[in-house]
């Protein structure tokens, strides 16, 4: 994976504008923006986005970007097609650091698209510390929601896997669900626990 030249991320972060349509901007200096959208797959399939892929310990990762901004990241399925390797240095640097067992100390510019409720849940996912987990019920309490099930549905719709750490949310009596299966969820939790 590519390395970021020294100081490049801070320069990009300074040039990122604040988003006025969501409080995500206050959380990570404007690098997250949210919008309403519909459909089952909130993030993938937009023709204006560059689709690429990179290898990882959990399988091939499919990414969609718009310039420097990451719009979607997921584990590839057998139906995925892509034409080029990922060249987004910020995302690759984050992933390289993460999968080498080190806690990343920055976030690449992200744009999460979803309902206001989903964005609230995803914002709270970003607050779960590296190496820690919370239950769906605890996550619901943190955002003032009475339904752990509604929170679970929002967690399942997270368009940016790994970086927005939905794998850190577990069931009250076990691992809980994960879009890419319990084995991958356990691998990610073990990676964080062992560092």
Q: Per the domain annotation, does 187 fall within a domain? A: yes
- Of 8-12, 72-76, 89-93, least confident by mean pLDDT is 8-12
> Please, how many CA atoms are within 13 Å of residue 153, restricted to the half-sphere of its CB?
8
Global pTM exceeds 0.95: no
Angle, helices 116-126 vs 136-143, to 10°: value is: 110
Q: Per the domain annotation, does 109 fall within a domain? A: no
pLDDT confidence bin for 47, thresholds 50/70/90: low
Q: What is the pLDDT of residue 104?
A: 96
Q: Per the domain annotation, does 107 fall within a domain? A: no
pLDDT per position as a tens digit, 138-176: 999 999 999 999 999 999 999 999 999 999 999 999 999
How far, in Å, CA of 56 to CA of 65, rounded? Answer: 18
**Mean of the per-residue pLDDT values for the chain?**
78
Task: Find the mean pLDDT for residues 18-44.
Answer: 29
Q: How many domains does the chain have?
A: 2
pLDDT confidence bin for 112, thresholds 50/70/90: very high
Whichever domain contains 126, its CATH number is 1.10.10.10
Checking if the pLDDT of 81 tops 90, the result is no
Checking if the pLDDT of 28 tops 80, the result is no
Checking if the pLDDT of 30 tops 60, the result is no
Q: Which residue has tokens 């750490």? A: 165
Residues taking part in catalysis: 166
Rounded to 10 degrees, the C-alpha dihedral 118/122/127/129 comes to 130
87 and 125 share one domain:
no
Q: What is the pLDDT of residue 32?
A: 26
Greatest distance between any 2 Cα atoms in the chain: 45
> Which domain range does residue 37 map to?
8-99
**End residue of a domain, out of 65, 99, 133:** 99
17 and 90 share one domain:
yes
Q: Per the domain annotation, does 92 fall within a domain? A: yes
41 and 124 share one domain:
no
Checking if the pLDDT of 96 tops 50, the result is yes
136 and 184 share one domain:
yes
123 and 67 share one domain:
no
**End residue of a domain, out of 73, 99, 125:** 99
Q: Per the domain annotation, does 105 fall within a domain? A: no
Q: Per the domain annotation, does 104 fall within a domain? A: no
**End residue of a domain, out of 69, 99, 129:** 99
Closest-CA residue to 159 (of 73, 52, 92): 73
95 and 12 share one domain:
yes
Q: What is the pLDDT of residue 9?
A: 32
85 and 120 share one domain:
no
79 and 162 share one domain:
no
Q: Per the domain annotation, does 54 fall within a domain? A: yes
| 110 in Cβ contact with 145 (< 8 Å) | no
87 and 157 share one domain:
no
71 and 17 share one domain:
yes
Q: What is the DSSP string of 146-178?
A: S-HHHHHHHHHT-SBTTTS-GGGEEBTTB----
Residue 77, classified by CB atoms within 10 Å of its CB into exposed (0-12), middle (13-18) or buried (19+), is exposed
């Amino acid at each position: 994976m590519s390395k970021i030249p020294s100081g490049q991320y801070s320069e990009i972060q300074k040039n990122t504008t604040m988003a006025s349509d969501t409080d995500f901007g206050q959380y990570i200096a404007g690098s997250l923006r949210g919008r309403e959208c519909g459909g089952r797959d909130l993030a993938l399939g937009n023709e204006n986005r560059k689709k690429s892929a990179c290898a990882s310990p959990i399988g091939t990762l499919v990414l969609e970007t718009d310039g420097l901004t990451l719009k979607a990241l997921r584990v590839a399925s057998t139906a995925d097609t892509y034409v080029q390797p990922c060249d987004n240095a910020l995302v690759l640097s984050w992933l390289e650091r993460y999968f080498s067992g080190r806690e990343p100390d920055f976030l690449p510019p992200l744009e999460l698209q979803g309902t206001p409720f989903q964005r609230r849940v995803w914002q709270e996912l970003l607050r779960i510390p590296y190496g820690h987990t919370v239950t769906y019920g605890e996550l619901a309490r943190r955002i003032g929601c009475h339904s752990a099930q509604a929170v679970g549905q929002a967690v399942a719709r997270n368009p940016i896997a790994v970086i927005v750490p939905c794998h850190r949310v577990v069931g009250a009596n076990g691992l809980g669900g994960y879009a890419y299966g319990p084995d991958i969820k356990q691998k990610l939790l073990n990676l964080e626990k062992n560092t």
